[in-house]
Each structure stands twice: as C-alpha cells, then as structure tokens.
Structure 1
C-alpha cells in the first residue's frame, strides 16, 4: 500500500501543475500589434491584471497601474499603454514603440 501511495502522490502533483498551467493559458489573451513596421506580441492576463511581452531580448512582465484612460501596465521602468486598438511602449518615460495598431481586433 505504501509503495502504491508513494507512486501515486507525484503523479497527482504533476497533474495539478498541468491543470494550473492549462487554467493560466485559458485566462491569457494573445494580442498582435504592428508598431511602426515592427510586430509586438502581448500576452494579456486579465485575472492577474498583467501583460507580458518581449522587448530588447527581455521578457517583460508588467502589472496593471493607474490610468486616466485606457489600460496602463508598468514595472517601474517599462510602460505598456493601450487605448482602443492602439498602444505605446515607454522605457523610462521615453517612447520606444509607437503607433502600435492591434491586428485583427475582436469586436
């Protein structure tokens, strides 16, 4: 009985991890932007109120912040700001990706 239980516990834990990853992907939307002829793929997780994307060969995870209009996400260094179908990315208050237009927006 103990051998069976020792074998079953790791299998059950692996199943929980796989389930959690599946649920995480269910709550994440992938948004495709075209920024001044450069593509930008943004993963938006509404449940965590977070976006993630790759910029300058770094994976950035930005948390939702305060915004008078639109949606603003920041880590204190980078800012992703979207409003409607457009977005802008800032690095230390300097625009690094501008004129980002959402491709194939869902209405």
Structure 2
C-alpha cells in the first residue's frame, strides 16, 4: 500500500500543478479586453490586460505596451514616452506630453 501511494502521489501532484497553470492562463485570457476606438486621426485598437494592469496597441508602426500608472481621474498607462489615458468612453494618446491621438471614442462591440 505504501509503495502504491509513493508511486501515485507524484503523479497526482503533477496533475494539480498542470491544472493550476492552465487555470492561470485561462483567467488571464478572461481578464483581457479588446477595445475599439474611433479617434480624430485614425482608429485605435487597444488590448487591456486587467490582471497585468497594462494596455497594448500599435501606434506609428510600433507595438507599445504601457503599464498602469497613477491617475486622479480615469485610467492612465505609460511607458515613460507614451501615455494612454482613458476617462469613461473617451481616451487620448500622448507622446512626450504632446497629444498624438485625440478625441478617441470607444465603439460598441
């Protein structure tokens, strides 16, 4: 009996580890939103990762990933160069404190 337990216990623990990793991947996917915006200059598609507290989008042929920063109003994400600032259903993108995408309105899905 002890030999059987010694042989099956590692297998059971491996299964638990695998299911926890799978659960984590699934939860991260569930916490990612795709947001579509119509801006004055061009359309913008933003992937918001709620679990990782970051957004990703392509601007000027550059793939950008910005981390959530401090904001008194709305949600602000930055990488030190670019800022994506969302307030309700509107957003703006800044590069070095200069607006590059303005009057972005979230489109309904």
TM over 0.5: yes
Task: State which structure, 1 or 2, has the greater radius of gyration over its C-alpha atoms.
Answer: 2
1:39-96 CA distance string (max 9 Å, x none):
1000011111100000011110000000010000000000000101100000000100
How does the TM-score come out when normalised to structure 1?
Answer: 0.76
Residue aligning to 1:3: none
Partner of 1:35: 39
Distance in 1 (CA, whole Å) between partners of 2:20 and 2:44 is 32
Q: Point out 4+ residue stretches in structure 1 off by more than 2 angstroms.
A: 15-25
Pairwise CA distance, 1:27: 1.4
Offset of residue 16 of structure 1: 8.6
Cα RMSD of the aligned pairs, angstroms, is 2.1
Structure 1 unaligned spans of 5+: 1-14
Q: 5+ residue gaps in structure 2?
A: 1-18
